[in-house]
């Protein structure tokens, strides 16, 4: 473990996470529950420790994408409710029930399958109905001509034996986009969602306990969509413009250090393909951070990293395990000096924009050979090496 720490590591600031959680709670008010989205290993931050932190802070629910992710949390002692957003094979229903995991149900066929399994087992599975109001991914279709057949299917899922429909939810497609068209689209999705809820509740003669739809964009921009629970991911981790506007803090600081420094004369081609050629005598640093660690190769020769003497341009093609940065005139930055790839100084949003992507992809790309170092009250409380040893 220690030996890998001098390579590249991700500091996960749990105080920032708790701060963000509390700020979002202030915004949504005490009558709205908070679901923390911790799919994809909590967007690369480490799902178990993030879940522990949210559980302690008092969050109501967690969401993951698969039963494997849910089991990781359960087997590591997480007791709070967990919702699986994706599909689970019917053969796993027994395990869902045994470990008290809530399953999203997104169509008639799955509702029937799950119900049949529950009947066989003589047990009940907790479900949340997923409504497709315009994301066009998972969920019961209910727009236009599909409205009544959709309502019928969802009402059926609520009354089938063995299924306990605790909640109903939908997902917004453009709630984080600017402009009138996006606003209109989101409002239309929400309006349809409300009509669906009313329709299903009327048909089955009871109310859903938890109705939810607000992701990051809606949590920031559309308070009218909060209903019983919000479901932000990116906002919780402190990235994106809404996080900035709310005074949230980035949770991950990805760091590396300089492993070699060399001085090249003018006219030296750097790295594969020689796309960068020095225009003067150049003091070049090599960092042990490459695309196999999560440094998108599309950022080659386009981004800069943060050093104690300001930002240093990345030069030449990014390699699998290494990349070069220009340390000319930064004499204090030497072998062993710490470099921030993104975090509190080097904005991940700017780096994502340069790569033509979103901050989600940069934190999710941090690979398993990058250890996560968890910090609380300014001290390292845990180091998680993701490699098997």
Ligand X SMILES: *Cc1c(COP(=O)(O)O)cnc(C)c1O
Catalytic residues: 39, 272
| Pairs from 227-231 (Cβ < 8 Å, separation ≥ 24) | 227/32, 228/32, 228/33, 228/167, 229/32, 229/33, 229/34, 229/35, 229/60, 229/61, 229/167, 230/24, 230/28, 230/32, 230/33, 230/34, 230/35, 231/35, 231/37, 231/63, 231/169
Nearer to ligand X by Cβ, of 9 and 172: the residue is: 172
Q: In whole angstroms, give the CA distance from residue 262 to residue 251.
A: 33
Strand 102-105 versus strand 125-132 pairing type: parallel
Q: Which of 134, 233, 359, 371 binds ligand X (CB under 6 A)?
A: 233
Q: Which of 189, 215, 256, 257 binds ligand X (CB under 6 A)?
A: 215
Nearer to ligand X by Cβ, of 37 and 155: the residue is: 37
Scanning 89-97, 145-153, 226-234, 362-370 for contacts with ligand X by CB under 6 A, the matching segment is 226-234
The residues in 91-150 that bind ligand X, with binding defined as CB under 6 A, are none
Give bridge partners of residue 230 from the DSSP assignment.
34, 214
Q: Which of 7, 221, 231, 255 binds ligand X (CB under 6 A)?
A: 231
Scanning 47-55, 231-239, 294-302, 305-313 for contacts with ligand X by CB under 6 A, the matching segment is 231-239
Give the burial string for 246-283 (b: 16+ CB within 10 Å, else e).
bebbbbbbbbbbbeebeebeeebebbeeeebebeeebb
Nearest distance, CB of residue 251 and ligand X, angstroms: 13
Scanning 18-26, 92-100, 151-159, 230-238 for contacts with ligand X by CB under 6 A, the matching segment is 230-238
Q: Which of 16, 37, 50, 111 binds ligand X (CB under 6 A)?
A: 37
CB-nearest residue to ligand X: 233
Nearest distance, CB of residue 213 and ligand X, angstroms: 8
Does 36 bind ligand X (CB under 6 A)? Our answer is no
Scanning 227-235, 248-256, 273-281, 286-294 for contacts with ligand X by CB under 6 A, the matching segment is 227-235
Nearest distance, CB of residue 50 and ligand X, angstroms: 13
Nearer to ligand X by Cβ, of 364 and 386: the residue is: 364
The residues in 151-180 that bind ligand X, with binding defined as CB under 6 A, are 171
150 dihedral zone (left: phi>0; alpha: psi -120 to 50; beta): alpha
Contact 212, 230 (CB under 8 A): yes
Nearer to ligand X by Cβ, of 179 and 267: the residue is: 179
The residues in 39-68 that bind ligand X, with binding defined as CB under 6 A, are 39
The residues in 271-310 that bind ligand X, with binding defined as CB under 6 A, are none
Binding footprint of ligand X, residue count (CB under 6 A)? 11
Cβ neighbours for 168, distance < 8 A, ≥ 6 positions apart: 128, 129, 131, 154, 196, 197, 200, 208, 210, 211, 212
Q: Which of 24, 49, 85, 252 binds ligand X (CB under 6 A)?
A: 85
Instruction: Report the interface residues with ligand X, using CB under 6 A.
Output: 37, 39, 85, 171, 215-216, 231-235
């Amino acid at each position: 473990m220690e030996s890998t720490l001098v390579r590249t590591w991700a500091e996960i600031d749990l105080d920032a996470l708790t701060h963000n959680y509390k700020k979002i709670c202030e915004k949504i008010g005490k009558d709205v529950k908070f679901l923390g989205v911790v799919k994809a290993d909590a967007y690369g931050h480490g799902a178990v420790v993030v879940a522990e932190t949210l559980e302690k802070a008092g969050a109501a629910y967690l969401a993951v994408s698969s039963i494997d992710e849910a089991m990781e949390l359960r087997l590591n002692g997480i007791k709070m409710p967990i919702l699986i957003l994706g599909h689970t094979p019917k053969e796993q229903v027994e395990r869902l029930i045994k470990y008290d995991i809530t399953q999203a149900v997104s169509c008639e066929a799955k509702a029937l399958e799950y119900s049949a399994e529950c009947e066989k087992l003589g047990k009940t599975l907790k479900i949340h109905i997923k409504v497709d109001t315009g994301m066009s991914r998972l969920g019961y279709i209910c727009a236009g001509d599909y409205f009544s057949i959709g309502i019928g299917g969802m009402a059926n899922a609520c009354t089938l034996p063995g299924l306990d429909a605790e909640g109903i939810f939908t997902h917004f497609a453009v709630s984080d986009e600017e402009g009138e068209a996006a606003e209109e689209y989101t409002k239309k999705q929400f309006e349809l969602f409300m009509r669906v809820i009313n329709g299903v509740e009327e048909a089955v003669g009871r109310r859903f306990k938890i109705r939810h739809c607000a992701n990051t964009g809606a949590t920031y921009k559309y308070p009218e969509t909060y209903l019983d629970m919000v479901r932000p991911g990116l906002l919780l981790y402190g990235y994106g413009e809404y996080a900035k506007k709310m005074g949230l803090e980035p949770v991950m600081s990805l760091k590396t250090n300089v492993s070699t420094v060399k001085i090249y004369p003018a006219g030296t081609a750097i790295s594969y393909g020689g796309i960068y050629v020095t225009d003067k005598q150049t003091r070049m640093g090599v960092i042990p951070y490459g695309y196999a660690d999560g440094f998108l190769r599309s950022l080659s020769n386009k981004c800069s990293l943060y050093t104690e003497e300001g930002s240093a341009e990345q030069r030449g093609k990014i390699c699998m395990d290494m990349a070069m940065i220009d340390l000319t005139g930064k004499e204090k930055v030497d072998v062993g000096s710490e470099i921030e790839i993104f975090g509190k100084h080097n904005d991940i949003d700017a780096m994502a924009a340069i790569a033509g992507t979103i901050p989600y992809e940069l934190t999710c790309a941090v690979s398993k050979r990058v250890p996560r170092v968890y910090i609380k009250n300014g001290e390292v409380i845990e180091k998680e090496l993701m490699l098997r040893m």
